[in-house]
Amino acid sequence: MPKRAPRKRQPHPLSLHAKIAHTYAWLMVWTYADFVLGVIIGATVFSLFPPMASPGALRAYAAPRVTIAATAAAVASPSTYVIYVSVDGLRPDAITNLGPSGAPNFYRLINEGAATLNARTDYDYTITLPNHVAMATSRGVSGSNGHNWTTNTDPAPGQTIHSNKGSYVASVFDVAHDNGRRTGMLASKTKFSLFDTSYDAVNGAPDTTGTDNGRDKIDTYVYNGSTANLTSRFINDMNANPYHFSFVHFADPDTVGHANGWNPTPGSAYSNAVKTVDGYLGQILQLIDSNSTLNGNTTLIVSADHGGSGTDHSNATLPEDYTIPFFVWGKNTAVAAELYGLNTASRLDPGTGRPTYSATPQPIRNGDAGNLALYLLALPPIPGSFINASQDLALTEGGPTSPVANAGPDQSKTDTDNTGSETFTLDGSGSFDPDGTIAAYEWSEGGSVIATTQTFSRDFAVGSHSVYLTVTDDSGLTSLDTAVITVNPYVAPPPATTIHVGGIAMSKGTTIRGKKTYCRAIAAVSIVNQDNTPLKSANVTSQWEGSVTTTASLSTNRNGIATFRSAWTQNCGTFTFTVTDVVLAGYVYDPSLNTATTASISF
């Protein structure tokens, strides 16, 4: 890809404490219940988030609300590099309890970027692998649209995210790689081999975007159980040949939490592990500051997979487990901004709540990260994703508000006439622009535009189709939504369930006994289903009248024929044969379909 001219980011002129000492006066606010509401600093919104007073009483971690117009404008100058750091098991109160002096680099992200300490994990799971797959795919775990990875152990050899779900699950690595970006993943747990296997040269999807960059979506995968060595490796890689998108995992807080407990009190083993990661973040920030290629061209995103309480984190209903931080720092981010304040139209601070994926608006989730990273790189969202699929998580202040695209509900039909397709109507009339009007609609599938009207009808072939609606407002801002169209294959009708008489063939016979002539009639009854297929083992009940009077029952042979013979008689007149009933398990006798019910023959 063409190399962008480096744009140097101005280094921070003063340390955090020097800036405070020379520029701002601290105003102490009264203590309410267990936490400090915040600090007002000069004319700049300098949000400090409320710490917990006791380890067991977790509260909402939302910073004081900042009144800023929400925006989801298309990124004006894309970031060349996006670094995503996941801090395994990070509770927000561990940061606030340490404060700026104990966690200076986390606070640098707060003070120089856009952040919240009240983001959410996946709704159903607060364990490591399911949430990291959510980060990489921007999908929740459960449901038909979820990625469905629920286990938290090393995958079996050859097992992939796709084999587990039964269909391919695209990721942030797919989109970045297929668009010519260099990708890397550096992890500190062996179970992350799941990503390397799922997106390798065998299991990754073919690259159908522009130049074929191959199926291996992660250019470099590194496992190192030493997070110090992992950090060094990452810094060396970024100095030598930087990844355009990198995913870095630090296991320290989770490892210590399981061993010693999620105690966010400064001085505890868990708090010290958070301080260790703060140091790694400091090295990454120093890397960006000191490297002229990265400086001014890089955005850093930091979040977590879950929190924890006691020595566990698997209870998805506990605030201690589902409440996590979310930081964005560097290029294309506001300074000292609270993320919910930047996104009043599209995100809602959940307080202490646990909103489902159907809640509107959604909270900020760790699953926002994948599509946010692609937005910053000026790349489209992950196919099949539903978290931040509109790439509308705003990071900057001011400007017009983006429209909200609504492609309507997912739809499904079955190919009932076996033509290979069905007709669907897609309706984008639910889209709107909070501060203007929508100027254009564009529907696309597989990169090809298929309609430019608000509503349209189209035939879709058997299979699953992700149809993207992009709306553009009168300010030129865009938003995207997806509707999944499913055409189920034709299903042949079940076997015929009715039975009837397909025909009665009459014949006669005579014989002489002594000097007397005897005669009899023969009726060959054909039993068929509604498709006129002969049926064996059907029990046919009949009645003879005329020359003889009697009833008889026989079963059809393999050709569907039951042959009835009357008794011999000297009364050689007219023999009349009538079918009175037909019985076969699984079928219903329908005499209205009979070709004949009664037949006669005379001598």
Query: Is the predicted pLDDT of residue 36 greater than 50, yes or no?
Result: no
355: left (phi over 0), alpha (psi -120 to 50) or beta: beta
Q: Which has the closest alpha carbon to 368: 327, 400, 335? A: 327
Q: Which domains does the chain have, with CATH numbers?
A: 16-376 (3.40.720.10), 411-488 (2.60.40.10), 498-602 (2.60.40)
**Residue tagged 């060349």 (tokens):** 80
The model's pLDDT over 329-350, given as tens digits with 9 standing for 90+, comes to 999 898 889 999 999 989 999 9
Task: Give me the percent of the chain exceeding a pLDDT of 90.
Answer: 77
pLDDT of residue 405: 82
CA atoms within 13 A on the CB side of 512: 2
CB 463 within 8 A of CB 485: no
For the segment 350-409, what is each residue's pLDDT rounded down to a tens digit? 999 999 999 999 999 999 999 999 999 989 999 999 999 999 999 987 655 667 788 999
User: Would you state the structure tokens that stand for residue 204, as one six-digit string?
Assistant: 């990754």
Question: Residue 494 above 80 pLDDT?
Answer: no
pTM metric for this prediction? 0.60
Q: Looking at the predicted structure, is the pLDDT value of residue 51 above 90?
A: no
The yes-or-no verdict on residue 310 having pLDDT over 50 is yes
Residues 573-594 have pLDDT tens digits of 999 999 999 999 989 999 999 9
Residue 478: pLDDT above 90?
no
236: left (phi over 0), alpha (psi -120 to 50) or beta: alpha
Cα distance between residue 123 and residue 108, in whole Å: 29
Write the pLDDT tens digit of every residue in 217-266: 999 999 999 999 999 999 999 999 999 999 999 999 999 999 999 999 99
Burial of 157 (0-12, 13-18, 19+ CB in 10 A): exposed
Does the pLDDT of residue 70 top 60, yes or no?
no
Asked if residues 464 and 485 have their Cβ atoms less than 8 Å apart, the reply is yes
